Amino acid sequence: MAVLADASAASLERFVTENIEAGSTLVTDAWSSYPPAVRDRYAHKPINVKRSGQPA
């Protein structure tokens, strides 16, 4: 865990590449900055909590 300066794709990409092994599966919320941050290096499973009907 870390506090990021912002939730931009660039900030997320830096955090992800520095802390998560390439090829890992990332399960995230559906924030639009994740796809460009994870690109082809990770499998990405976004979950839109609002649309899922599950409690956050």
Domain assignment of residue 36, yes or no: yes
Residue 4: inside a domain: no
Locate all alpha helices (DSSP H) within the chain, ordered by sequence: 9-19, 34-38, 49-52
Task: Let me know if residue 34 belongs to a domain.
Answer: yes
Report how many domains make up the chain. Answer: 1
Whether the CB-CB separation of 51 and 29 falls below 8 Å is answered with: no
- The mean pLDDT of the chain is 90
Angstrom distance (rounded) from CA 9 to CA 53? 27
The pTM assigned to this predicted structure is 0.76
pLDDT value, residue 48: 86
User: Residue 43 is part of which domain span?
Assistant: 9-52
Q: Distance of alpha carbon 22 from its chain centroid, rounded?
A: 13
Residue 3 placed within a domain: no
Average pLDDT over residues 52-56: 75
- According to the model, what pLDDT value does residue 53 have? 79
Q: What is the pLDDT of residue 20?
A: 94
Residue 2 in any domain: the answer is no
